[in-house]
Amino acid sequence: MTKTESGQPESTAKTVDPPADSEIRVLNPATGEVVGSVPDTTAEQVVAAIAELREHQRAWQAIGADERKEWLLELQDWIIDNTEVLADVLQSETGKPRVDSLIDPIFGSDLIGYYARRAAKFLADEHPAPHSPLARVKRLTTVFEPYPVVGVITPWNFPLAMPLLDVIPALAAGAAVILKPSEVTPLSALELARGWAEIGAPPVLSVVTGAGATGAAVVEHADYIQFTGSTATGRRIAAACATRMVPYSLELGGKDPAIVLADADLDRAAHGIAFGGMFNSGQVCISVERVYVEAPVYDEFVAKLTANVKALRQGRDDRTPRNDVGAMANESQVGIVARHIDEAVAAGAKVLTGGKRTGVGTFFEPTVLVDVDHSMSCISEETFGPTLPVMKVADEAEAIRLANDSVYGLSATVWTGDKARGERVARALNAGAVNINDVFANLFNFALPMGGWGDSGVGARWGGPNGVRKYCRAKAITAPMLPTQERELTWMPYDLNKILIGLGAMRAAGARGMRRIDIGALLRLKGDNR
């Protein structure tokens, strides 16, 4: 943070000095007020930052997971001790309600505890059992070696939590990290850099602020790219990574369906879906974005959902939590929500509550829409806003078919009183995660992979050991278990008889039935030499 205009604390974050005229202003979307400005980092400065990270990464890798754990837990302490200030900064650049602003630091601390404490176990060398008796002559080892510099590029919806989700596992893996936060909400990421500097940790985390061009420079020079954002930008990043032959993991858009079956606890479903659709003004990658309800309970469910959504308190919070729903991130998001609703209404949809922007700033009323179908943008495109379009379906099969009728496959929810039915529907859905009788639950379970299918992404974050191993190159090492001979049976120059013994043993170990011991077939391999 180079300067603040709203009383936010001056940051001592480590950033690259930009030319004075290239700065990005940060706005509070709830008020329109300028709350800070940050450097628009150039490609040359990104290159320099990555070169410096490379220097320090070697020592970071060398100290090992146990010492890295201590630094990560120091950071966890710092975040917990600074929760209020971090929430202030986050609130200033997002216009979120106070409760939502407190979530990022506390959720982030939970994740730090998980990966800090378990990374040593997850990264330990493995000695897998050989697949065949013949291979038992070798000691097998898998080693996990971090990519030197991981580039993490994040969006604006959770300005502190989003960076932490991926920065922490990458640091725990032994990589250095260059973080490019969204230009809309860069202040919280700079606070993270400030924390890392204040605890005196090794300089293996660098935050570069800027827009798409800064992100593109990170993609051009880092050794692994972890991206969260739009599908359109994700495709560009994937193409750039393919050209450089650099691995990547992308968490992209979503259009998460909720399926409400006739045997569901309708009160719970209505509360859960109202929360899942309206939390953070619907600006969550795994927000509920469309709802399919079995015909027998449709009217009752819609009435309950509408009542719940109507009851939500919306407005601008200060440090005292008062509201459930805050502002949207920026004008362009408001524009998308308004367009989706207008197009649906023009095509025959009905607004049961909400439907328009309200007050000063980027507030949009929590909205329930009915009489919608798959020809409408509110059902087929990602809205990323406070809308819940609801469709009546004949039965479970139609619900599954419509839920799967999307280019996206991030996550889904199913609401039912029947456990077996819940499991069955969950398995039938094309989605990276399905929560039964709950929303967002997978997000609070780092032992599970979080990734999207289809246009929702490539790869996954977390998933226990994979959460740190993804930031590593796996190396396979073999070593003889027995004293070695001058040469192996199968080495050149070939001795056909010895080769046949070797091939015969391999076939005996891998094949089944009589094929294991078919000497005649082996002899035929000798051809004219017989």
Nearest of 377, 375, 351 to residue 364 by alpha carbon: 351
Can you tell me the distance from the alpha carbon of 314 to that of 311, in angstroms, rounded to the nearest whole number?
Answer: 9
The one-letter code for the residue type at 139 is R
| Shortest distance, position 86 Cβ to ligand ADP, whole Å | 19
Can you tell me the distance from the alpha carbon of 76 to that of 86, in angstroms, rounded to the nearest whole number?
Answer: 13
Tell me: does residue 182 bind ligand ADP (CB under 6 A). yes
Task: Point out the catalytic residue in the list 74, 220, 241, 285.
Answer: 285
> Which residue from 31, 83, 141, 230 is in contact with ligand ADP, where contact means CB under 6 A?
230
Can you tell me the distance from the alpha carbon of 522 to that of 518, in angstroms, rounded to the nearest whole number?
Answer: 7
| Shortest distance, position 41 Cβ to ligand ADP, whole Å | 11
Nearest of 257, 358, 330 to residue 25 by alpha carbon: 330
Burial class (CB in 10 A: 0-12, 13-18, 19+), 245: exposed
Tell me: does residue 219 bind ligand ADP (CB under 6 A). yes
Tell me: does residue 379 bind ligand ADP (CB under 6 A). no
Q: Which stretch binds ligand ADP (CB under 6 A): 74-82, 212-220, 343-351, 485-493?
A: 212-220
| Shortest distance, position 158 Cβ to ligand ADP, whole Å | 12
Tell me: does residue 216 bind ligand ADP (CB under 6 A). yes
Task: Point out the catalytic residue in the list 93, 183, 251, 294.
Answer: 251
Task: Give the DSSP H/E element, type plus range, for residue 179.
Answer: strand 176-180
Q: Three-state SS string across 256-297, please?
A: EEEEECCCCCHHHHHHHHHHHHHHHHHCCCCCEEEEEEEHHH
Tell me: does residue 186 bind ligand ADP (CB under 6 A). no
| Residues 43/213, Cβ–Cβ less than 8 Å | yes
Tell me: does residue 237 bind ligand ADP (CB under 6 A). yes
| Shortest distance, position 278 Cβ to ligand ADP, whole Å | 19
Q: Is 241 a catalytic residue?
A: no
Q: What are phi and psi of 458, to 5 degrees?
A: -135, 130
Of residues 126-155, those binding ligand ADP (CB under 6 A) = 153-155
| Shortest distance, position 94 Cβ to ligand ADP, whole Å | 13
Q: Which stretch binds ligand ADP (CB under 6 A): 16-24, 26-34, 79-87, 227-235?
A: 227-235
Tell me: does residue 233 bind ligand ADP (CB under 6 A). yes
Can you tell me the distance from the alpha carbon of 171 to that of 205, in angstroms, rounded to the nearest whole number?
Answer: 8
Can you tell me the distance from the alpha carbon of 292 to that of 402, in angstroms, rounded to the nearest whole number?
Answer: 8
- Residue of closest CB approach to ligand ADP: 215
| Residues 459/250, Cβ–Cβ less than 8 Å | yes
Of residues 280-299, those binding ligand ADP (CB under 6 A) = none
| Shortest distance, position 397 Cβ to ligand ADP, whole Å | 35
Binding characters for ligand ADP, 161-180, by CB under 6 A (x = yes): -------------------x
| Shortest distance, position 157 Cβ to ligand ADP, whole Å | 8
User: Residues in contact with ligand ADP, total (CB under 6 A)?
Assistant: 17
Tell me: does residue 215 bind ligand ADP (CB under 6 A). yes
- The three-class DSSP label of residue 195 is helix
Nearer to ligand ADP, 223 or 294 (CB): 223
Write out the two tokens for 457: 């992404």
> Which residue from 64, 212, 348, 480 is in contact with ligand ADP, where contact means CB under 6 A?
212
| Residues 452/463, Cβ–Cβ less than 8 Å | no
Can you tell me the distance from the alpha carbon of 273 to that of 257, in angstroms, rounded to the nearest whole number?
Answer: 10
| Residues 341/355, Cβ–Cβ less than 8 Å | yes
Q: Is 285 a catalytic residue?
A: yes
Of residues 192-211, those binding ligand ADP (CB under 6 A) = 211
* DSSP 8-state symbol, 9: P
> Which residue from 148, 169, 195, 229 is in contact with ligand ADP, where contact means CB under 6 A?
229
Q: Which residues are catalytic, by number? A: 251, 285
Q: Which residues bind ligand ADP (CB under 6 A)?
A: 153-156, 180, 182-183, 211-212, 215-216, 219, 229-230, 233, 236-237
